[in-house]
Chains A and B, each alone.
Chain A
Amino acid sequence: MSMRKWLFATIVICVWISGCAKEREVKQQSLQGSGFMKTNTNGDMQPDHINQQTAEQAAARIKAREDIKDAVAVNTSKKLLVAYQIKHMHRFYRKQIEKEIDRQLMHLFPNYQIVSSSDLKIFWKTKELRGKIGNKDWNEKKTDQQIEKIRQLSEERT
């Protein structure tokens, strides 16, 4: 009996710890990501790099919404990629919020082809891409390819 109890307790603890460990892992990683981004945005912008003004503006606009926790955006001359995280208590209305933001962005930036998503993975990816834009060997073509990739990923369904 005691053996069985022990076994059970061990398993519960193992499962729990592994769950927590994973969570921490993920958190750390995402923190690293944000640090990475910061150093890059603070770095000197090369003149031949794509102007990210539109993206900054879009991100600020979305972030200003009260149901949005965070937003990040990247643009090329033709495309605008916006990824955002919805505040948890508003996630019930995710579909409506997505639609609204789409409409909002299309209205604000009619000259761009807009890709937007509330998906966490897309958010991470966009953030990563945003960081890369500061790099010397980065160019518009690469950004365009990356945006296309992210768009495809965001449209994938099971």
Chain B
Amino acid sequence: MSAMFFWAFVVGGLICVIGQILMDVFKLTPAHTLASLVVAGAILDGFGLYEPLIDFAGAGATIPITSFGNSLVHGALQEAEKHGIIGVLTGMFEVTSAGISAAIVFGFIGALLFRPKG
């Protein structure tokens, strides 16, 4: 289990370093950086490479935003298996709903509770 923590730290940290390089060296805005990483995650899953990374690094691969692209592809593929090509469209948010719905719900609660501190 401690190996899991170690690799989660290392892999998660490395994905963040890639993001930092995109921002600092390629001068991308944070929004561009995150969008690029999400697309990268989706493509990696297309090649079947992201799941093994999750098996290996656990939260180190599921917590970075790249996993968002991965789960979108996963949902789409799962549904596609069941319902054919139309499943690609309908299954997309099946797996990712947690991140988005949590962000929406907590975003609203946050707006009720807090004011920007500046």
Instruction: State yes or no: do A and B touch (Cβ within 8 Å).
Output: yes
Report which A residues bind B (CB closer than 8 A).
23, 26-27, 30, 88, 91-95, 120, 157-158
Q: Which residue of A lies closest to B52 (CB)?
A: A92
Report which B residues bind A (CB closer than 8 A).
1-5, 7, 51-53, 55-56, 71, 78, 95, 98
Q: How far is the CA of A120 from the CA of B3 in the complex (A)?
A: 14
Q: Which of B7, B51, B53 is A88 in contact with, Cβ under 8 Å?
A: B7
Docked-complex contact A88 and B55, CB < 8 angstroms: no
Q: How far is the CA of A26 from the CA of B51 in the complex (A)?
A: 25
Q: How far is the CA of A23 from the CA of B6 in the complex (A)?
A: 12
Please classify the interface of chain B as helix (H, G, I), strand (E, B), loop, or mixed, using the class held by over half of its residues: helix
Docked-complex contact A158 and B95, CB < 8 angstroms: yes
Please classify the interface of chain A as helix (H, G, I), strand (E, B), loop, or mixed, using the class held by over half of its residues: helix
Q: Which of A23, A95, A120 is B5 in contact with, Cβ under 8 Å?
A: A23
Residues of chain B within 8 A (CB-CB) of A27 are 1
Docked-complex contact B95 and A94, CB < 8 angstroms: no
Q: Which of B1, B95, B98 is A23 in contact with, Cβ under 8 Å?
A: B1
